[in-house]
Amino acid sequence: MQTIQSFPSLSRPDARVLILGSMPGNVSLAAFQYYAHPRNAFWRIMAELYNFDLAESYETRVQCLLNQKLAVWDVAQQCVRPGSLDSNIVGDSVVANDFSSFFSRHPDIQLVCLNGGKAAALYKKHVVPEVKRAQEIARQVLPSTSPAYAGASYGQKLDLWRLALKNG
């Protein structure tokens, strides 16, 4: 099995909210874009919350998030995962991103929004025990925007993301 690597964060120094996934799926890895799968609700939700056109280029959509002082990243810097499903991440293969450095460079982060249960579990296991600042920042587990997560409708996901980001 092959080790896969995440991307650098999308962020600027004055970011206030960090949105964390677990590890990009295969479609995203191939496109080198966060949330590139056409059925992933992430960009649709963000477009609705921040009033930008979903048809805009990836770069323009990213800039819209940065302008809202949002940062996007993944908990895992690398891992082994056959396929795209979070449930297939090989537990002992996970190497977390460098959150100590990230939080040092982004001192205004006040909220970490975890995109799904796997991101939350990885953050709790690999980041919180190791990084003092991660223990101090509020965190919110949100329903995964992945098309693989069918436990909430799009409307339910949108409402929960809206509530979390409004308070962030």
> What percent of the chain is predicted at pLDDT more than 90?
90
Structural contact between residues 117 and 144, judged by C-beta atoms closer than 8 angstroms: yes
Distance (Å, rounded) from C-alpha 133 to C-alpha 106? 11
Distance (Å, rounded) from C-alpha 6 to C-alpha 98? 12
Superfamily of 3-167 according to CATH: Uracil-DNA glycosylase-like domain (3.40.470.10)
Active site residue 26: no
Q: What is the mean pLDDT of residues 131-152?
A: 94
40, 51, 88, 97: the catalytic one is 40
pLDDT of residue 151 exceeding 90 = no
Q: Which pTM does this prediction carry?
A: 0.96
Q: What is the mean pLDDT of residues 32-55?
A: 97
Give me the amino acid identity at 10. L
- Where are the domains positioned within the chain? 3-167
